Chains A and B, each alone.
Chain A
Amino acid sequence: MNDEQKPKRFVLVGAGGIGNWLASGVVRLLEWKYPGSGLIIVDGDNYEEKNKERQEFTKLGNKAVVKASELTPQFPNTTIIPVPKWVVGDDFSGVADEESPKIKATDLVKENDIVLAVVDNFAARRILFDAARQLNNIDVFTGGNDDELFGSIYHYQKRDGVEITCHPEEFHPEYVNPPDKNPGELSCQERSQIEGGTQLLATNMAVAAFILGRIHKTIVSNQSPDETEIYFDLGLGKSEPYNRTHAEYKQEALV
Chain B
Amino acid sequence: MEATSSNNPQPQRATGMANLRYGVYNQPSNIAGKTVKEVRDQFSKIWGIPNDAVAYCGKDKLGEDSVIQPGQNIEFHRRAGEKG
Contacts and interface: CB of A to CB of B under 8 A. Distances in A.
Contacts of A199: 83-84
Contacts of A37: none
Given A119-B84, A253-B59, 12 more contacts: A18-B84, A120-B82, A121-B82, A142-B80, A144-B80, A174-B80, A207-B81, A233-B23, A240-B24, A240-B25, A249-B58, A249-B59
Interface in B5-58: 21, 23-26, 54, 56, 58
A168 B82 CA distance: 13
A184 interface: no
Interface of B: 21, 23-26, 54, 56, 58-59, 73, 75, 77-84
Question: What 9 A-B pairs are tightest by C-beta distance, nearest first?
Answer: A144-B81, A18-B84, A238-B24, A152-B81, A151-B81, A145-B81, A231-B23, A252-B58, A240-B24
A240 B23 contact: yes
Given A170-B59, A172-B77, A249-B59, A233 B24 contact: yes
A172 B54 CA distance: 10
A19 interface: yes
6 contacts: A121-B82, A146-B79, A199-B83, A199-B84, A231-B24, A240-B25
Contact of B79 (A119, A172, A197): A172
Interface in A131-156: 142-146, 150-154
A174 B79 contact: yes
Contacts of B26: 240
A207 B80 CA distance: 12
Contacts of A154: 80
A224 interface: no
Contact of B54 (A150, A168, A173): A173
A204 B84 contact: yes
A231 to B, nearest CB: 5
A144 B83 contact: yes
A19 B84 contact: yes
A236 interface: yes
Given A239-B24, A240-B24, A252-B58, A168 B80 contact: yes
Nearest to B25: A240
Interface string A6-29: 000000001011110000000000
Nearest to B57: A252
Contacts of B83: 17, 120, 144-146, 196-197, 199
Contacts of B73: 252
